[in-house]
A and B are shown apart, each in its own frame.
Chain A
Amino acid sequence: MKHATQSLLIRGGRVIDPLARMDAVMDVLLRDGQVAEIAPPNKIRAGAEEKIDAQGLIVAPGFIDLHVHLREPGQGYKETIASGTAAAAVGGFTSVCCMPNTTPVLDSPEWVTWVRQPQRGAVVNVFPIAAATQASKGAVLTDFRALQRTGAVAVTDDGKPVLSETTMRDALRASAEINFPVIQHAEDTRITQNCSMNEGPTSFRLGLRGMNVNSEAAIVDRDVQLAQQFNGARLHIAHLSTAASLTAVRRGKKNRARVTCEVTPHHLALTDADVRDYDTNFKMNPPLRSAEDREALLAAIADGTVDAVATDHAPHAQHEKIIEFERAAFGITGLETALGLVISVLSADHRLPLTRIVELFTSGPARVLDLRGRGTLLRGSHADVTIFDPKKRWTFDASKSRSKSHNTPFDGRQLTGKVVATIVGGKIIYRAV
C-alpha cells in the first residue's frame, strides 16, 4: 500500500496490546507502514508528519475479522470488495478474511489472485480464504499448496460443510503437511434440510422447522477427533454456536490438537427467542440459539476457549430477505456493529476486561490464521491500528451503513463502544465525525 503520510504519531492513548502484555498510556509512532516506536507520553523524539490525539481512547492493534463475505467475484449486487472493506473500516477492522462462496467459487489460485488485485478497491487488508474442495462440492480437494502460495490464508467450504469424513480426513492430512488451516462450517446438512432457525420452543411456536444443536456439535466432535489423528493439522471451527460444540473443542485443546474456534457478536447478543414476527434479519446460519447456549458461549469467552470474535458478515439484497422467512437467505451484516455489540454484552453486562475483548479482535484471530506481524503493536509490526472509545454510547443506523446491504437485526440498537479511527499501513482510512 502506498502512503501519502509517511509518519503518524498517536498520542496519549491507552495502548492495549494483549500479545505484548501491554496496557498503559503510551505514544505510538507509525512510520513507513510499520510500528516504529512505542513509548510513554512525550518520550518519542522523532518528529511525525501527522498526529492524532488519543487521550481517553483505547489504541489497539488493528482488528482482524476471520469471517467475512465480500461477495466478489460474481455477487456484486450484495456487496463488493470495495463496499465491504469500507464497512470493515467503519467497524475498526484493518484486516478481513473473505469467504469463498462466491460466483464462481474461489477454488483456484487465479481467483485468489483476482481478489487481491488493487483494482478491487479494498481499503483494508483482504486475506482470501479459498474453497477446500472444487466448487465446494465436497468431493475433490483443491490444490492447498498452490492456493497457499498465491495468498490464501486457509481453506473452507463455508455454507456447504465438508460432510464426507474421508474428504475431511484428507483435508486435515494436507493441512498438517503444509501448515494450512482448514475452517469448518460445522453443520450436518442432512438433518437441517428445510430448517430456518434453531430447534426449540420458539421454532415450535412459530411453526418453523428447527435445527437441532447436534447438527453442529456432531460435526465439530468428528472433526476434532480427525484433527487429533494428524500431528500438526489445523482445524478452525467457524461461528461456533452451541454448548455441545464447546465440549468437543475443549477436549481437542486439552489433547493438544491444533483446534481453534470463533464466535459471532450476534450469537453473544441474541437468542432464538428474539426471532419475532418472522423478521428475516434474525435468520442466519448457524441460527440464534437458546439462552443456555448463549451463556455457554459467554463462559467460553471468559475462560479462553474461544480464540476470536468473527462477524460472519453476510450481506444480502432486499429481494433475498424481504420474503417468506423459510425462503429467505441466511445471514446478516455485522462489520459495523461488532465492537459495539461485544463491548455492550461482554464489558457492560458481563464485566469482561477490555484486554480480553481486544485479544478476541486482534492477537486471537491473528494466531488462528498465522497472520504474521498483525494483531499486535510490537515494534516492526504492520502499522494497522484501531482507536476506539469503549464508553461511547451510540445508536446504530443501518441506513447509513457503508455496506451495500442493510440486513441487520441491530438497526436502531443502542450500543456502547465505538471506533474513532482506523489506520491501515500507517494511513488513516476512517475517522469518526
Chain B
Amino acid sequence: MSTSRPQSEKRSVARGSLLGIEDLPVSEINKLLLLARKMNPAKARPLLRGKRVLLLFYEASTRTRTSFEVAAQALGAETSLVISSGSSIEKGESLLDTAYTLRAVGADAIVVRHLNAGAPHLMASYLDIPVINAGDGMHEHPTQALLDAYTILKHKKKLTGLQVTILGDIYHSRVARSEIHLLSKAGAKLTLCGPPELLPEMATTLVKGLRISRSCEEAVRGADVVMILRVQRERLAGLKVSLPDYVSRYQMTMARLRMAKPDALLMHPGPIIRGLELTWDVADCPQSVIVEEVHNGVPLRMAVLARALGKAA
C-alpha cells in the first residue's frame, strides 16, 4: 500500500466497485449471479484470506450489515464495522477523510451505507480501493436487487419475459430504483403500483417500458412476481396520505395476491411491517420468499466481495 499518493485528488473508480445497477452491464450482472451460485456460506472458502473489508454504516441496518459481515467472513476476510455514532464522524469528520482513514488502516474494500444519495460515488472517485454501495439515500441498493434476482432465478427459469409488479413507496426507495434497473435490463415486464405521492408519473422515465398502475388489483393480475416495498408511516403523514386509505387501497392481502399467477412469488426486501403494506398471512404464505431473500443475501454478497477483491475465479 502506498501512502505517498496525494489525497483529495479525483481518480477513476477502482475496479470491482459496485456503485449501482444502472451502470452495471448485463454481462456483469449475469457473472455475479453465476458466481453467487458457487458460493456456499456453510463451507468456508478462504478466497479472501488476509483481506480487510471495512463496513462503514452511516445509517442503522440489521440485515444488510450482518449479511455483508457473514459473507466476508465466510470468504476468510477480516471485517471491521464503523458506525457514525461514537466515531470521529460524529465530531464532524468529512466522508472523504473518514474514507482515507479507513484506507490508511489497511482496508482493501469499503462497504458503505449512507443517508445521502451519491455518497459511495464520492468515495469511489477519490479512493484507490473498491467501494461497494450498501444503500445510498433514495438512490440505489444494488446488492438487494442482485439478491432478489438470484432469489427469483431459484424459482423461475429466467428473468426475461417475467411479469413483475412492484408495489408501495417507489419514490423514496433505493431498492425500487435498483430493482427496476436490474429487472428491466434482464428483460422482465415491470408494473409499478402506488399512490401518486409515493409513485410520481416521472417514475416511468427511469427505464423504457415501465407501466404505472394506481389499482392494486390491476397491477397484480397475472404477475409472476409481486414485490412489496416498505411504507413508512411518517412519510405518509408528511405527504398527507391517510394510513387507513393506503391500507385499504394498496395493502397486499391474500385476496389480492390470488389475482397473480398461482405460482407467483411474493417478495419484500424488508424490514416488513405486518398490517401496513402486507397482512400477517401474506408474509407467511407458501408463495412468500421473504425469509429466503435474506438467506440468499449471503452468497450474493460473497460474490460481490470476491469480484471486488479480484478473486472472482
Contacts and interface: CB of A to CB of B under 8 A. Distances in A.
Interface of A: 199-201, 204-209, 277-278, 318-319, 322-327
What does DSSP make chain A's interface, helix, strand, loop or mixed? loop
Nearest to B125: A277
Given A208-B139, A323-B122, A324-B119, 20 more contacts: A200-B202, A204-B202, A204-B203, A204-B206, A205-B177, A205-B205, A205-B206, A207-B136, A207-B137, A207-B138, A208-B118, A278-B118, A278-B122, A322-B8, A322-B96, A322-B122, A324-B118, A325-B117, A326-B117, A327-B116
Contacts of A206: 117-118, 139
Given A200-B202, A206-B118, A319-B94, A326 B137 contact: yes
B185 interface: no
Contacts of B122: 278, 322-325
B116 A324 contact: yes
A205 B138 contact: no
A323 B137 contact: no
Contact of A207 (B94, B117, B200, B205): B117
B140 interface: yes
Contacts of B203: 204
A207 B174 CA distance: 7
A204 B136 CA distance: 14
A199 B200 CA distance: 11
B273 interface: no
B138 A278 contact: no
B116 A325 contact: yes
B205 A324 contact: no
A201 B206 CA distance: 7
Contacts of B137: 207-208, 326
A331 B202 CA distance: 26
B83 interface: no
12 contacts: A201-B205, A204-B200, A204-B206, A206-B118, A207-B137, A207-B139, A209-B138, A322-B96, A324-B119, A325-B117, A326-B116, A327-B116
A305 to B, nearest CB: 28
Nearest to B116: A324
Contacts of A209: 138
Interface residues of B, number: 26
Interface string B171-184: 10010010000000
Contacts of A325: 116-118, 122
A206 B136 CA distance: 10
B22 interface: yes
Nearest to B173: A207
Interface-centre pick from A199, A322, A327 (highest chain B CB count, 10 A)? A322
B121 interface: yes
A318 B126 CA distance: 14
A278 B121 contact: yes
A327 B58 CA distance: 14
B95 interface: yes
Interface in B104-160: 114, 116-119, 121-122, 125, 136-140
Given A278-B122, A323-B94, A325-B118, A207 B140 contact: yes
4 interchain residue pairs of minimum CB distance: A278-B118, A207-B139, A207-B138, A201-B205
A319 B94 CA distance: 8
A255 B171 CA distance: 42
Contacts of B140: 207
A215 to B, nearest CB: 16
Nearest to A323: B94
A322 B126 CA distance: 10
A204 B171 CA distance: 8
B202 A201 contact: yes
Contacts of A322: 8, 96, 122
A327 B137 CA distance: 12
Interface string B16-30: 000000100000000
B193 to A, nearest CB: 17
Contacts of A318: 8
Nearest to B22: A205
A207 B116 CA distance: 9
A176 B132 CA distance: 59
A372 to B, nearest CB: 47
Contact of B117 (A201, A208, A319): A208
A205 B101 CA distance: 31
Contacts of B206: 201, 204-205
Contacts of B94: 319, 323
Nearest to B19: A277
A322 B97 CA distance: 11
Interface string B79-99: 000000000000000111000
A200 B204 CA distance: 11
A278 B13 CA distance: 14
A208 B205 CA distance: 15
Nearest to A205: B206
Interface-centre pick from A201, A205, A326 (highest chain B CB count, 10 A)? A205
A200 B203 CA distance: 9
A431 to B, nearest CB: 33
Contact of A208 (B8, B125, B138): B138
A227 to B, nearest CB: 33
Contacts of B117: 206-208, 278, 325-326
